[in-house]
Chain A
Amino acid sequence: DAKTTQPNSMESNEEEPVHLPCNHSTISGTDYIHWYRQLPSQGPEYVIHGLTSNVNNRMASLAIAEDRKSSTLILHRATLRDAAVYYCIRDQGAQKLVFGQGTRLTINP
């Protein structure tokens, strides 16, 4: 079971940080956590991934709990273009991704 749990929706204001949570309580020690996002009427795009330690790239930061049962995607300064559905996915190394319902992020101007 590659299930992750995310809130259905979140709302934030422009230029403020956004913390998107994800629970993956049954994760195994070798499963990576991947985040993708899907802008309206587009295909998903890769955001970030990590295993144990926190990760940063130009798009976002990923904070992984010490017990790895949860993680948080951090957008440091949200813009209107960050409005999208964000998917948290456990990658079990099978070269297949199982997308859940994700979190619909709304950014208010």
Chain B
Amino acid sequence: SQTIHQWPATLVQPVGSPLSLECTVEGTSNPNLYWYRQAAGRGLQLLFYSVGIGQISSEVPQNLSASRPQDRQFILSSKKLLLSDSGFYLCAWSLGLAGGTDTQYFGPGTRLTVL
């Protein structure tokens, strides 16, 4: 069966510090991968998605970036965190089915607090 891992579970970082969040998927090949952010009390905002190694699409301009160095690894990074980067970061994967039947499976999330 497929499993998705995210770490760390919680993170407290000072403003201006770098960020690296990692997501890995087990039990499937060539998944679509997604990064979402959820600010406190808000809905989910899609940040990046990837349909293959090295292929990243950005949905919202910001000071974050994403990379996919391996098939089942997705990394979210920032060179300098802002206060507004605080939130609950969720990674998800899907099979990439066309036609509107694709289902996304979410990881446990990383709760980031920028002070």
Residues of A participating in the B interface, judged by any CB pair closer than 8 Å: 30-32, 34, 36, 41-46, 49, 51, 87, 91-93, 95-102
Give the complex CA separation of A99 and B44 in angstroms. 6
CB closest chain-B residue, reference A102: B43
Count of chain B residues with a beta carbon within 8 Å of a chain A beta carbon: 28
Mostly helix, strand, loop or mixed at chain A's interface?
loop
CB closest chain-A residue, reference B57: A96
Contact residue among B43, B49, B90, B107 (Cβ-Cβ distance under 8 Å from A96): B49
Give the complex CA separation of A46 and B106 in angstroms. 9
Q: Chain A's nearest CB lies how many Å from the CB of B86?
A: 15
Check A43/B92 contact, CB under 8 A, given A95-B32, A96-B46, A98-B46: yes
- Of B51, B96, B99, chain A has the most CB atoms within 10 Å of the CB of B99
Contact residue among A36, A43, A99 (Cβ-Cβ distance under 8 Å from B109): A43
CB closest chain-B residue, reference A98: B46
Residues of B participating in the A interface, judged by any CB pair closer than 8 Å: 32, 34, 36, 42-46, 49, 51, 59, 90, 92, 94, 96-109
Known contacts A44-B90, A49-B101, A93-B100; can you find 11 more A-B pairs with CB under 8 A? Answer: A32-B100, A32-B101, A34-B103, A42-B109, A43-B92, A43-B108, A44-B104, A92-B100, A96-B59, A99-B36, A101-B42
Q: Chain A's nearest CB lies how many Å from the CB of B47?
A: 11
